[in-house]
Every structure is written in structure tokens, then in C-alpha cells.
């Protein structure tokens, strides 16, 4: 692919703890995709849900330690509420928003709407009368949901091709006043000029919802690249219980950040770093399509 003249890629971690090898692999791939196409590479901290004290600084330290560079300031979602409110207002003005009073238990126990896919919101609060809505407001605060006009939407992914997935009346604003992830990520990407989204393929199923929402907001489509995950030896997503999976714990086993970077590069068929020297060898068509099975070293802490 020839270099482009504008646009950006990004990595958007949550500051809920230390990055693990899977996070670092996705970040490195996002950087390679962006830099190899002449795009800027941006960092955004997605801190709407969970933020552990000091975690953001540690995230940035770990990314720099494996050789990642980024452009501009690092943005945080908690600083961007006015943008999300403006998007919700635009959707409301178009008749695309309604109040929802359902609890998670009520949603789980509700019968599915006819022909609705499994797991889709059944539309319980979609057509409440004014009187019923007023009564429910006395019981609990409302969330705001999108009044979707479709039940599925198709996106094109660089690695997966066309993918059609479920679209339901997704939450836009939680009943605690916090914007929902699916809204925030769409608004953020557009406002930051991000036109390439590289992330783990566990998020592919949520992409049609986000792409449909973007279309309702009149936003330009982006290029999606959902890359294979890193799994443990039991073929499950790696987690903290798997042992030495962060830079800090790997260092205890004598494996430094440069070695971790080279392990990641080797897992996608690339030579050892530094990253700038790897760009010429990077070819999206050569990326493996299967997950990387990562076996952490055994730590001797005695």
C-alpha cells in the first residue's frame, strides 16, 4: 500500500493495570500499520470505566520501553465529555435516542424480540408511553439508548474481509451519566482524525454497531484491522493469572523489553527490532491469521 498523506492510526489502552504481552503485541502492530502507511500514530487512554492510580504512567513507560513513538498529546476520555454529549444531542435531535430503565437482570430475563439475534437488547423501553416513562423515572435513573434502524450491519476488515454483525439499541449514556464505550470510541476516532483502527479480533463482533453509529453521525468510515489475539497454553486469552506476562514480571525472568519486542516481532514473521528498521519488512499480507500461543517463563522468586 503506498503511503497516504493524512489520517492516523491509534492505540487506546485502558489504565486498569499493567499491559501484558497481548496488549503490547497489538500496540506494536497498530504502530507498524500506521507508520508503514505514512499515518500519524496516536495514543488515547480509555478511562471511562476503570482507572488504577499510576497505571497511565506505567502504560506509557511500557510502550516507550518496547520502542513505540507517538504523535501529539496523549488524550483521556474523561476529559472529553462535552464531545460525547454533543453527539448524543445530535442523535436525539434526529429522533434516535430514548430512555431505558432496564436493569441487567431485567434484560437477561426478558424474552427476545421476534427475529432478534441472541444477546440483542429486546427493546423493552423502546415504545413506553409518556405516563409509563414518567413512572419509571421515579424508580431509577434512565440510561439513554440508540433507536437503531437496522438489526445488522456490514463492515470490511483488512484481514477478515466483509463481516456482518448484530446491531441493536445500544447504550449511549449509562444511567450514572457516563458515556458508553461504543459511543465514545466512535466520537474520539473521528475527532482525532483516526481513519485506521487496529485492535484485537475479540472486538470484531462489536464493530458493526460502532460503524453503524458512525454512519448515523455522518462520520467517515475507517479502515478496520482486527489482529489475532495472544492466547495462553490452554488456548484462552492471557490473563494476569497466567504468570509472567507483563514487562515487569518478564524482567524478573531476565527478559528485557527489547527481547519482548523481538519475541512479538518474531510471532508475526518479522526480524528483530528496533521497530523503525522493521518497517521495510512489514507486509500485512504476511501476517499470521491464527492466535499466538504464548508460554510465559517460570519465575524463580526465591
The response to whether 36 counts as a known ligand-binding position is no
Q: What whole-number distance in Å separates Cα of residue 255 and Cα of residue 98? A: 52
SS in 3 state form for 216-281? HCCCCCCEEEEECCEECCCCCECCHHHCCCEHHHHHHCCCCHHHHHHHHHHHCCCCCCCHHHHHHH
The response to whether 102 counts as a known ligand-binding position is yes
The response to whether 294 counts as a known ligand-binding position is no
The response to whether 181 counts as a known ligand-binding position is yes
The response to whether 11 counts as a known ligand-binding position is yes
The response to whether 125 counts as a known ligand-binding position is yes
The response to whether 121 counts as a known ligand-binding position is yes
Cell representation of residue 204: 470484531
Pairing of strands 143-146, 171-173: antiparallel
CA 234 to chain CA centroid, Å, is 24
The response to whether 158 counts as a known ligand-binding position is no
The response to whether 199 counts as a known ligand-binding position is yes
Q: How many CA atoms lie within 13 A of 183 on its CB side?
A: 26
Residues in the chain: 302
Taking CA atoms, 110 is separated from 1, 88, 102, 150, in Å, by 48, 26, 10, 20
If phi over 0 gives left and psi between -120 and 50 gives alpha, with beta otherwise, what is residue 133? alpha
The response to whether 12 counts as a known ligand-binding position is yes
The response to whether 179 counts as a known ligand-binding position is no
Helix, strand, coil proportions of the chain in percent (round to 5)? 40, 20, 45
Q: What whole-number distance in Å separates Cα of residue 196 and Cα of residue 54? A: 29
Listed residue (179, 158, 160, 161) closest to 170, CA to CA: 179
The response to whether 46 counts as a known ligand-binding position is yes
The response to whether 152 counts as a known ligand-binding position is no
Residue holding cell 520501553?
Answer: 65
Partners of 155 in beta bridges: 163
Residue ranges for the known binding site for L-glutamate are 10-14, 46, 181, 199
Residues tagged in the binding site annotation for Zn(2+):
100, 102, 121, 125
Sequence ranges of the binding site: 10-14, 46, 100, 102, 121, 125, 181, 199, 240
From the annotation, which residues make up the binding site for ATP?
A: 240
Amino acid at each position: 500500500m503506498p503511503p497516504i498523506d493524512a489520517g492516523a492510526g491509534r492505540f487506546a489502552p485502558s489504565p486498569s493495570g499493567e499491559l501484558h504481552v497481548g496488549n503490547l503485541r497489538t500496540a506494536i502492530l497498530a504502530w507498524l500499520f500506521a507508520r508503514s502507511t505514512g499515518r500519524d500514530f496516536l495514543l488515547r487512554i480509555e478511562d471511562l470505566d476503570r482507572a488504577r492510580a499510576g497505571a497511565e504512567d506505567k502504560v506509557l513507560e511500557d510502550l516507550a520501553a518496547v520502542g513505540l513513538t507517538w504523535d501529539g498529546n496523549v488524550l483521556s476520555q474523561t476529559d472529553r465529555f462535552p464531545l460525547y454529549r454533543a453527539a448524543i444531542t445530535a442523535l436525539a435531535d434526529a429522533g434516535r435516542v430514548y430512555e431505558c430503565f432496564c436493569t441487567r437482570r431485567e434484560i437477561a430475563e426478558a424474552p427476545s424480540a421476534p427475529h432478534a439475534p441472541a444477546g440483542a437488547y429486546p427493546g423493552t423501553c423502546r415504545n413506553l408511553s409518556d405516563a409509563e416513562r414518567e413512572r419509571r423515572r421515579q424508580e431509577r435513573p434512565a440510561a439513554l439508548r440508540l433507536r437503531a434502524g437496522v438489526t445488522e450491519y456490514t463492515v470490511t476488515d483488512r484481514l477478515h474481509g466483509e463481516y456482518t454483525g448484530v446491531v441493536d439499541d445500544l447504550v449511549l449514556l449509562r444511567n450514572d451519566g457516563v458515556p458508553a464505550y461504543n459511543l465514545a470510541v466512535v466520537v474520539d476516532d473521528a475527532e482525532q482524525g483516526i481513519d485506521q483502527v487496529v485492535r484485537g479480533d475479540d472486538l470484531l463482533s462489536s464493530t458493526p454497531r460502532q460503524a453503524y453509529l458512525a454512519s448515523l453521525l455522518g462520520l467517515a468510515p475507517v479502515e478496520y484491522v482486527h489482529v489475532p489475539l495472544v492466547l495462553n497454553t490452554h488456548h484462552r486469552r492471557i490473563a494476569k493469572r497466567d504468570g509472567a506476562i507483563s514487562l515487569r514480571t518478564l524482567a524478573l525472568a531476565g527478559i528485557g523489553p527489547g527481547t519482548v519486542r523481538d519475541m512479538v516481532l518474531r510471532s508475526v514473521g518479522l526480524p528483530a527490532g528496533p521497530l523503525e528498521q522493521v518497517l521495510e519488512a512489514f507486509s500485512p499480507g504476511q501476517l499470521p491469521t491464527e492466535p499466538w500461543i504464548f508460554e510465559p517463563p517460570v519465575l524463580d522468586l526465591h
